[in-house]
Amino acid sequence: MFTGLGMPSFVFLFGNIIDSFNDYSNPNAASDAIKKVALIQTLIGIVIWITAYVYFTCSIMLSESVALKTKVAYLKAVLN
């Protein structure tokens, strides 16, 4: 779920970056807004990376377990 929600959140955060350029009275405001959004995007990217790693690892472990059970059941059926 977290992996799938990451990319749409980047779109909304990128919109915040674009909106920060509308404030012409304070030139540092855009820089500060970009730094804040960049930090948030970095944190979201780290969370996506960790959750994708855990998801992939669990999928590999599950597939190895199912494959082993299938091989054992096939061997028992052949030997009978």
Q: What is the pLDDT, as a whole number, of residue 24?
A: 66
Q: pLDDT band at residue 76, thresholds of 50, 70 and 90? A: very high
How many Å apart are CA 41 and CA 30, to the nearest integer?
16
pLDDT averaged over every residue in the chain: 87
Q: pLDDT band at residue 1, thresholds of 50, 70 and 90? A: confident
Element holding 42 (H helix, E strand) = helix 27-79
Is the pTM above the cut of 0.75? no
- Number of neighbours of residue 77 by Cβ within 10 angstroms: 8
pLDDT in tens, 32-66: 888 888 899 899 999 999 999 999 999 999 999 99
Q: What percent of the chain has pLDDT over 90?
A: 45
How many Å apart are CA 37 and CA 7, to the nearest integer?
14
